[in-house]
Amino acid sequence: MNHPTTTTTTLVEPDAFAITADLTQARLPRWAVLLVGVIALGVAGLVTLLTGWSPTGGLVLAVVLMVAGFPLWSMVVEGRRAAADRLATSLVWGAFVVVLVPLVWLIWMVVSHGVSAIDAEFLTYDMRNVVGAGGGIFHALWGTILVTLAATLISVPVGLFTAIYLVEYGRGKRLARVTTFLVDVMTGIPSIVAGLFALALFVLIFGPAIRVGFGGAVALSLLMIPTVVRSAEEMLRLVPGDLREASYALGIPKWRTIVKVVLPTALGGIITGVVLAISRVIGETAPLLVVAGATDSVNFNLFEGRMMTLPVYIFSQYSSPGVVPVGTEGDPPGYARAWGAALVLIVIVMVLNLVARLIGTYFAPKTERRR
Amino acid sequence: MAKSIDVSDLSIYYGDFLAVEGVNMTIRAKAVTAFIGPSGCGKSTFLRTLNRMHEVIPGARVEGKVMVSGQSLYDPTIDPVAVRRRIGMVFQRPNPFPTMSIYDNVIAGVKLNSRKMRKSDADALVERSLRGANLWNEVKDRLDRPGMGLSGGQQQRLCIARAIAVEPEVLLMDEPCSALDPISTSAIEDLIHQLKSEYTIVIVTHNMQQAARVSDETGFFNLKAAGQPGHLVEFNPTTKMFTNPDEPSTEAYISGRFG
């Protein structure tokens, strides 16, 4: 009876009862997880009330009870394998919640503190001659946009061409191996080092005490390039070799194959990678503070004069928040401005991420089913 | 403008590894030539040397001569890109360009080479190529849809349409039906019969019946022993190969007594 077809037919024969009986297994009801959760919360709440623990302690206790209790119950009713499954599931969910807590908390803090600071004046005024309340982030917003844009304009061509070399031309060559290694090293450069490098470079060329927005862009591009290279490389490698061969077989030269077949196929992923690289560097503070400096005025010229950026703005508003007017209570005015700028920065990063996703789906290779 | 191909003493290497040794044959113009043989014996490798696709793989090289209409393909003055424009290829797995519509896939060879073409000429070329590949009636109403949305057999015929749209003189087919169902296979075999009148066709197949059905001449490749390079055992008209082959090993392979 070891032939597969006969086994399946046995199941419908009368003596199949014995077999199906062996296959059944006691299962916890679907609401079991809810019940355990409620009990864990209840017990933890009781302990917290009786011993006077903090709510955080009680919450941790509830999670521990849940993770320990649910598999234990499952062990008694369902057996070992199911219990191990429940334990792993509980741990994965627990880890998920632990990761989510700081994220939600952070967003909540920034939104609740920052939203009151944001109004039309905040978005359209700079900090020139502002003493006390008032003023805004206009100069920092434009600084961030310009510096990040310039950094992107530097990094994308360099990163993309490096990735194209690594995938299409350098396979197995010594130069490619060295490049890959150096890119990996570059990924680990501390941002302040990138900033100091850019500063040293510009001081070397333009003399001491130079502070320009473009220097900030150079520093940021040092941080962006490895990310762009890495993501573009991965995306290009994902393009099937079949497509390249199909193109060669039509008598299309290699460079045209890369430009017209390989790059369009990988475009969605490459753009997503670039946008993610931008959102990584847009919040950098140290290198910009060092090279681009800080200012209270609007400066649209990347190549002359100091340029404010949002992270540096947040930093300077927090480190020198001004004074509370005599006779009033409350925080110094700089704190609210720092929170407001932080909120704007987070919104920019989120919008960038959403745009990356939209672009990624829009440019993804289309099939009939996905339309 | 179909061309014949003369191969003399061709040895094919991957780096230091000799994959195929000493092939001599003449592939007739406007005929179908089939290559059969066990896996790993170098049929596909040999096929790829006929339009210099072989050297796309790093370290791959050849020794010997491939002559097409009096020109040696491996002469240093020959541009491999120009060779591939004249000698098209269809691959084992259908590989339409995923970013392009059916229409754009067909004219990819023209468009990606940035040859200027009027819209009416392009339309005519697309229709002619799709008709040539027996696909026109199935896709004429959805030319702007993605090529990847077609079924496997349709995709393969789309790839054939794409290959004949650049008007090559020779069409190389590397197991074009191995991923297809019998109905799609039969459609492609019919197509090969029609294309024969205009193109020189070389086809690699694992399917002996297919070789017998579609080809005029057949070459049998085999390994001398495991780890040895592949070589051409016998090259003869298909009817002779399948009824009265010269070599006993050919008969053993064809009749299924291989070894």
Per residue in A184-232, pLDDT (tens digit) is 999 999 999 999 999 999 999 988 888 899 999 999 999 999 999 999 9
For the segment A31-47, what is each residue's pLDDT rounded down to a tens digit? 888 898 899 889 988 98
The pLDDT score that the predictor gives to residue A366 is 60
Q: Which amino acid is at B72?
A: S
The strands making up B230-237's β-sheet, listed across from edge to edge, are B71-72, B60-68, B5-14, B17-27, B230-237, B217-223, B32-36, B200-204, B170-174, B87-90
Q: Do residue B163 and residue A250 have CB atoms under 8 angstroms apart?
A: yes
Q: In Å, how far are A25, A235, A340, B241 from A318, measured between CA atoms?
A: 61, 41, 11, 88
- CB B66 within 8 Å of CB B11: no
More confident residue, A19 or B122: B122
Q: Do residue A243 and residue B114 have CB atoms under 8 angstroms apart?
A: no
Report all structural domains of chain B as residue ranges with CATH numbers, in order of start. 5-95+172-254 (3.40.50.300)
All structural domains of chain A with their residue ranges: 4-113, 121-320+330-370
Chain A: give the shortest CA distance to residue B109, in Å.
5
Q: DSSP labels for A220-248?
A: HHHHHHHHHHHHHHHHHHHS-HHHHHHHH
The pLDDT score that the predictor gives to residue B2 is 67
Q: Which of A168, A244, A250, A265 to mutate to test the interface with B (most CBs of B within 10 A)?
A: A250
> Which of A20-53 are b and which e, b meaning 16 or more Cβ less than 10 Å from the residue's Cβ?
eeeeeeeebeeebbeebbebbbebbeebbeeeee
Q: Do residue A251 and residue B162 have CB atoms under 8 angstroms apart?
A: no
Nearest alpha-carbon partner for B174 in B58, B37, B35, B30: B35
Mean pLDDT for B165-194 is 87
Residue matched to tokens 């290497």? B13
Q: Do residue A252 and residue B109 have CB atoms under 8 angstroms apart?
A: yes
Say which of B58, B84, B95 has its CB closest to residue A251.
B84
- CB B42 within 8 Å of CB B62: no
Cβ neighbours, 10 Å, residue A368:
13
The pLDDT score that the predictor gives to residue A226 is 95
The pLDDT score that the predictor gives to residue B258 is 64
Cβ neighbours, 10 Å, residue B1:
12
pTM here is: 0.81
Contacts of A339 (CB under 8 A, 6+ apart): A110, A113, A114, A117
- DSSP E strands, chain B: 5-14, 17-27, 32-36, 60-68, 71-72, 87-90, 170-174, 200-204, 217-223, 230-237
The pLDDT score that the predictor gives to residue A305 is 87
Nearest alpha-carbon partner for B96 in A241, A243, A370: A243
Tell me: pLDDT of B215 over 70. yes
* Residues of B with Cβ-Cβ distance to A171 under 8 angstroms: 58
- CB B64 within 8 Å of CB B150: no
The span from the CA of B111 to the CA of A252, in Å, is: 10
Say which of B58, B112, B159 has its CB closest to residue A252.
B112
Long-range CB contacts (< 8 A, 24+ apart) of A342-347?
A342/A110, A342/A114, A342/A314, A343/A110, A343/A111, A343/A113, A343/A114, A343/A115, A343/A117, A343/A118, A344/A114, A344/A118, A344/A123, A344/A137, A344/A141, A344/A310, A345/A144, A345/A282, A345/A283, A345/A310, A345/A311, A345/A314, A346/A107, A346/A110
Tell me: pLDDT of B33 over 60. yes
Chain B: give the shortest CA distance to residue A244, in Å.
9
Tell me: pLDDT of B227 over 80. no
Mean pLDDT for B40-63 is 88
pLDDT < 50 regions, chain A: 1-2, 4-12, 368-371
The pLDDT score that the predictor gives to residue A19 is 54
* Residues of B with Cβ-Cβ distance to A248 under 8 angstroms: 53, 56, 81, 84
Q: Do residue B112 and residue A257 have CB atoms under 8 angstroms apart?
A: yes
For the segment A151-173, what is each residue's pLDDT rounded down to a tens digit? 999 999 999 999 999 999 988 88
A121-320+330-370 architecture in CATH?
Orthogonal Bundle (1.10)
Q: Do residue B108 and residue A247 have CB atoms under 8 angstroms apart?
A: yes
The pLDDT score that the predictor gives to residue A20 is 57
The span from the CA of A96 to the CA of A301, in Å, is: 45
The pLDDT score that the predictor gives to residue A5 is 47
The pLDDT score that the predictor gives to residue A21 is 60
